[in-house]
Amino acid sequence: MNYKTKLKDIKALIFDCDGVLTDGSVTLMPNGEQVRRMHTRDGYALQLAVKEGFIVAIISGGSSAAVKTRMNRLGVHDVYLGCHNKVEALNELMHMYDLAPENILYMGDDLPDYQIMQMVGLPTCPDNAAAEIKNLSDYISPKKGGEGCARDVIEQTLKIQGKWINDSSTRSI
């Protein structure tokens, strides 16, 4: 089945953070803090998806208070950081929101995402994902991690479902 056909049934958009919402690099500060950079267009699309009624979640092995704060400000409250068992987090979300696998789009970029991507209806990845993840994905964004790949899949989903251009799309972050 074509991935665009699958977009019609998507109710939940779930993303890894490092390598998807960021470019995967971290800047190490003298105090040990690790600083990440995110794309504002991804942020806009995330908050718009929330406003349009989608379940939006982050499941990441990384842990950063700044990431949690950013996501919460965008309206994303299902944020699983420092997650060593991504499958457990996915199962919790599926149970909490009564989601079937075909209702879930997941975007990951590396081997820790492999198992969870096998469980969802629409596995996706950025252009610079690991080869194993690309092979598993139904859709590979032409955008790299941290450079708008989340915006790409969110925009396509909202367009397919007729939710991209409307009154709420003019709201700011």
Query: Is residue 21 situated within a structural domain?
Result: yes
**Mean pLDDT in consecutive groups of 10 residues from the start of the chain, 173 residues:** 94 97 87 85 97 97 90 97 95 98 98 97 98 98 97 97 71 48
Q: Does residue 84 contact residue 115 with C-beta atoms inside 8 Å?
A: no
Taking the C-alpha atoms of residue 81 and residue 160, their distance in angstroms, rounded to an integer, is: 30
CATH number reported for the structural domain that contains residue 18 in this entry: 3.40.50.1000
Query: Is residue 102 situated within a structural domain?
Result: yes
Query: Is residue 4 situated within a structural domain?
Result: no
Query: Is residue 169 situated within a structural domain?
Result: no
Q: What pLDDT score was predicted for residue 35? A: 81
Q: What pLDDT score was predicted for residue 169? A: 46
Query: Is residue 3 situated within a structural domain?
Result: no
Residue 85 vs residues 34, 60, 90, 152: alpha-carbon distances, Å: 22, 9, 9, 27
- Listed in sequence order, the residues at least 6 apart from 46 whose beta carbon sits closer than 8 Å to its beta carbon are 13, 56, 71, 74, 75, 76, 150, 154
Q: What pLDDT score was predicted for residue 63? A: 85
Query: Is residue 146 situated within a structural domain?
Result: yes
- Domain hosting 136: range is 10-164
Can you spell out the DSSP letters for 128-142? T--HHHHHH-SEE-S
Q: What pLDDT score was predicted for residue 37? A: 87
Nearest Cα residue to 110 out of 18, 12, 43, 28: 18
- Please give the tally of structural domains in the chain: 1
Query: Is residue 172 situated within a structural domain?
Result: no
Q: What pLDDT score was predicted for residue 166? A: 61
Taking the C-alpha atoms of residue 60 and residue 66, their distance in angstroms, rounded to an integer, is: 13
